[in-house]
């Protein structure tokens, strides 16, 4: 099935609805009447299984080319469940630039409480992998492209390097979503999502997912999910199913907007650097193009100083100053003091990625690109020449040609005039 079709057509057999509801019903119940104890019905207790969640989990598995999916109350709960497959003395090799909360979980909980050894590696320098893994290594955990600096890992190559070893390769696919990248098809063993970001897409649900292919691993994850009670609730599962349907359209629009804004930003001398895999001079661009269907809509820019970064954060009007990304609303964050504060604080031993305070992460939503460009340039112009530039122009004066007109362009990246 086409990627867009898969997003809309969910296999709903798991809820076996007697009225043939066309939208997946929310089974807001903690318990189910099991009927005959000797021949119980499919569900008994919602921690162990719930039809709404099951449809979501099956959908996630399909979208990621996996065999089983598991939905959790957050991305962190999803990652934590994966760490339960580790035993004391095992070693985890963690990407040097993973999400701040992931670093915190591994370094401050998994290492001290589960007796697991954590090693940090720059996987975008993949040649080092054979030097890093040893007989204790059980898990490689990577993001590609990473967040916020968009280092790209060659997933297929990394998978081939550990092939036949008892080492799992887990890819946190949050930045891409299954619509753009499917790590299991590239040889990874586990896919992780913070479904709070692109999968949900509306900033109204916190959720996470783990998707695997291997049946034995799926059984162990199902056991962990039930034993620890970290599964996603029925209403949140419904919200995710609803959000997933428009993932393809959202991404199409968001990527086109990111592209337009980057084109403007890269003309500006006051932007020191742009980190986006969509740029042809990005060091990972070729690998990324091979393994993903698009660059995504999260762009990190280096604005040269911490004060300009702060000004952008507080003075843009259309970018919500929020840690999350991937939603229909554009958002802006300063990784060092927001999403990655936990990593900055915890990596004083220096083996995490060093982040600059002049980095600003922009997540482009589905607003009109011209509005977003005006909003950014207004603040940037003002910080460059504070005495002469008005910073209080009303937003309505800044966008006159914003109209939703569908693009005729062959590659169909979305409305060209927005
Ligand atoms: C947000 C995020 C997480 C954590 O997910 P939550 O849903 O916030 O718990 C994990 N990985 C990445 C890449 C993220 O962006």
pLDDT value of position 124: 83
| Averaged pLDDT, 198-222 | 98
Q: Are 206 and 239 in contact (CB under 8 A)?
A: no
CA 17/CA 13 separation, integer angstroms? 8
The question of whether 189 is a catalytic residue gets the answer no
pLDDT value of position 1: 83
Residues in the chain: 418
CA 216/CA 292 separation, integer angstroms? 28
According to DSSP, the β-strands at 273-275 and 298-302 are antiparallel
Decide if pLDDT at 406 tops 90.
Answer: no
Q: Are 151 and 124 in contact (CB under 8 A)?
A: yes
pTM over 0.95, yes/no: no
Protein residue with its CA nearest to atom 1 in ligand 1: 194
Decide if pLDDT at 345 tops 60.
Answer: no
Which DSSP state fits 25? Answer: P
The percentage of residues in the chain with a pLDDT greater than 90, rounded to a whole number, is 78
Confidence label for 353 from pLDDT (cuts 50, 70 and 90): low
Pocket of ligand 1 contains residue 225 by CB under 6 Å: no
CA 238/CA 233 separation, integer angstroms? 9
Decide if pLDDT at 47 tops 70.
Answer: yes
Q: Are 190 and 216 in contact (CB under 8 A)?
A: no
Q: How far apart are the first and last CA of the chain?
A: 30
Confidence label for 13 from pLDDT (cuts 50, 70 and 90): confident
Q: Which of 27, 43, 99, 275 is catalytic?
A: 99
Decide if pLDDT at 165 tops 70.
Answer: yes
| Averaged pLDDT, 292-311 | 96
- Please report, for the chain, how many H helices and E strands are present, in that order: 14, 14
| Averaged pLDDT, 52-73 | 97
Considering only CA atoms, which of 416, 236, 254 is closest in space to residue 329? 254
Q: What is the pLDDT of residues 237-246, one digit of tens each?
A: 999 999 999 9
Q: Which of 17, 47, 122, 268 is catalytic?
A: 47
Pocket of ligand 1 contains residue 143 by CB under 6 Å: yes
Considering only CA atoms, which of 237, 195, 191 is closest in space to residue 26? 237
Pocket of ligand 1 contains residue 206 by CB under 6 Å: yes
Which three-class secondary structure state does DSSP give residue 152? coil
Protein residue with its CA nearest to atom 12 in ligand 1: 99
Backbone angles phi, psi at 35, to 5 degrees: 75, -120
Decide if pLDDT at 363 tops 60.
Answer: yes
Decide if pLDDT at 350 tops 70.
Answer: no
Higher pLDDT, 148 or 221: 221
Ligand 1 center–CA 410 separation, angstroms: 34
Average model confidence (pLDDT) across the chain: 89
Pocket test for ligand 1, best of 72, 75, 195, 206 (most atoms within 8 A of CB): 75
pLDDT value of position 243: 98
Decide if pLDDT at 410 tops 80.
Answer: no
Decide if pLDDT at 414 tops 90.
Answer: no
Confidence label for 395 from pLDDT (cuts 50, 70 and 90): very low
pLDDT value of position 126: 61
Ligand 1 center–CA 193 separation, angstroms: 7
């Amino acid at each position: 099935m086409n990627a867009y079709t898969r997003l809309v057509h969910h296999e709903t057999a798991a809820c076996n609805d007697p009225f043939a509801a066309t939208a997946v019903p929310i089974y807001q119940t903690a318990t189910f009447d099991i009927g005959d104890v000797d021949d119980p019905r499919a569900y008994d207790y919602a921690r162990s299984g719930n039809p709404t969640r099951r449809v979501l989990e099956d959908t996630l598995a399909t979208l990621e080319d996996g065999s089983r999916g598991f939905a959790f109350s957050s991305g962190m709960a999803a990652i934590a469940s994966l760490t339960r497959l580790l035993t004391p003395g095992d070693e985890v090799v963690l990407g040097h630039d993973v999400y701040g909360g992931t670093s915190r979980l591994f370094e401050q909980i998994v290492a001290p409480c589960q007796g697991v050894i954590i090693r940090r590696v720059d996987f975008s320098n993949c040649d080092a992998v054979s030097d890093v893994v040893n007989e204790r290594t059980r898990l490689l955990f990577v993001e590609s492209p990473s967040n916020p600096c968009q280092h790209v890992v060659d997933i297929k190559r990394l998978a081939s390097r550990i092939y036949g070893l008892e080492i799992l390769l887990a890819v946190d696919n949050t930045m891409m979503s299954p619509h753009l990248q499917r790590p299991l098809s590239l040889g990874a063993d586990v896919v992780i999502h913070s479904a709070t970001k692109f999968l949900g897409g509306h900033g109204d649900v916190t959720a996470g997912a783990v998707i695997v292919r291997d049946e034995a691993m799926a059984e162990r994850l199902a056991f962990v999910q039930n034993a620890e009670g970290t599964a996603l609730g029925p209403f949140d599962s419904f919200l995710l199913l609803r959000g997933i349907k428009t993932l393809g359209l959202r991404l199409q629009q968001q990527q086109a907007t990111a592209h337009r804004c980057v084109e403007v930003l890269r003309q500006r001398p006051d932007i020191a650097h742009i980190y986006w895999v969509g740029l042809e001079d990005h060091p990972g661009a070729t690998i990324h193009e091979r393994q993903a269907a698009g660059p995504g809509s999260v762009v990190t820019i280096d604005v040269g100083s911490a004060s300009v970064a702060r000004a952008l954060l507080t003075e843009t009007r259309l970018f919500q100053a929020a840690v999350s990304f991937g939603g229909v609303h554009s958002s802006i964050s300063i990784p060092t003091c927001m999403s990655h504060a936990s990593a900055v604080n915890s990596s004083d031993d220096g083996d995490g990625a060093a982040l600059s305070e002049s980095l600003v992460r922009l997540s482009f939503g589905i607003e009109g690109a011209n509005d977003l460009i005006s909003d950014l340039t207004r603040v940037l112009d003002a910080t460059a020449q504070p005495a002469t530039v008005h910073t209080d122009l009303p937003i309505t004066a800044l966008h006159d040609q914003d109209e939703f007109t569908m693009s005729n362009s062959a590659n169909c990246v979305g409305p060209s005039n927005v």
